[in-house]
Amino acid sequence: MSIKLEHINYIYGNDTANPVHATNDVSLEIKDGEFVGLMGHTGSGKSTLIQHFNGLIRPTSGNIYYNGKNISDEDFSMKQLRQKVGLVFQYPEHQLFEVTVFDDVCFGPKNLGLSKEEIKEKAKQALALVGLDESYYERSPFELSGGQKRRVAIAGVLAMEPEILILDEPTAGLDPKGRDDILSMISHLHKEKKITIILVSHSMEDIANYAQRIIVMDKGQVKFDGTPKEVFSHYKELEQIGLAAPQVTYIVNQLKEHGWDINTHITTLEEAKKEILKLWKQRKHI
């Protein structure tokens, strides 16, 4: 199970006065079970890139393979691809339309042409996954809070039981609690349900905490692709393209400059705490 992109180019407004090269010769492979963080400043082409994964936009040139099959082949079923590769857009709550929460979540499975029983079953499971109990089923999605709406919308995609879930800034505009809830839910989906996750985010901390692999986009190209430790060790270059490393990376680098013998490949708060305490204890003993 994998998605493979080969030399993807996408140009917006090819016939206007100023065409925009949104992705420029992007080649990468997303393997089964990965948790990938996708970073890039606004306009770096990441939102365009993720729409290629489920065939919503066709590349101007280049090929996309899902499990080895070219998705632009005539006999390739887009519907099936979109079921397997779930895409949650930015502000997904803007796509809610049904009268009740439950009906809205049923929309996806209904489009797959399943039986009524199966549809209901999947909707229930999806709503349970995002932590909404039965008391929400009959409520209107428009009267919920922002965080709850977003969960309903994510459930709408989860109800199709995707194998790969792509989320475009799922925490944008949420309060800290709502953010943590959504992120731990995504982490749960990855660990327990073995869903491959591609998380687009601006928050370095979120990505450092959860992702196993980070892809950094700049001007439509892949700038870095590696583990968080590898990518964040380039923190100076990241700053140049309008990004940054997690704050703890800066702290350990500063400590190093002040003469501490500290491991600078630290990306999460937890690691930093351990490392600093370890060094602190050693100091006392001297």
Partner 1 sequence: MIRDITIGQYYATDSPIHKLDPRTKLAGTMIYIISLFSTKGILGYILGAIFLLSIIKISKVPLSFIVRGLKAIVILLLISVSFNIFLTPGEVIFQIWKLKATKEGIIVAAYMATRLIFLIMGSSVMTLTTTPNDLTDGLEKALGFLKKIKVPVHEIAMMMSIALRFIPILIEETDKIMKAQMARGADFETGGVIKKAKSMIPILVPLFVSAFRRATDLAMAMEARCYRGGEGRTKMKPLVYKKCDGIAYSILFIYLLCMIGLRFI
Candidates 108-116, 182-190, 228-236, 244-252: pick the segment binding partner 1 (CB under 8 A): 108-116
Candidates 9-17, 67-75, 132-140, 255-263: pick the segment binding partner 1 (CB under 8 A): 9-17
Q: Is 7 or 79 the residue whose CB approaches partner 1 more closely? A: 79
Q: Is 157 in the site for partner 1 (CB under 8 A)?
A: yes
Q: What minimum distance in Å lies between the beta carbon of 184 and partner 1?
A: 23
Q: Which of residues 71-100 bind partner 1 (CB under 8 A)?
A: 79, 82-83, 86-89, 92, 94-97
Count of residues near partner 1 by CB under 8 A: 27
Q: Is 107 in the site for partner 1 (CB under 8 A)?
A: yes
Q: Is 156 in the site for partner 1 (CB under 8 A)?
A: yes
Q: What minimum distance in Å lies between the beta carbon of 95 and partner 1?
A: 4
Q: Is 130 in the site for partner 1 (CB under 8 A)?
A: no
First-to-last C-alpha distance (Å) of the chain: 53
Q: What minimum distance in Å lies between the beta carbon of 54 and partner 1?
A: 6
The residues of the shown chain that bind partner 1, judged by CB under 8 A, are 15-18, 51, 54, 56, 79, 82-83, 86-89, 92, 94-97, 107-108, 111-112, 142, 156-157, 160
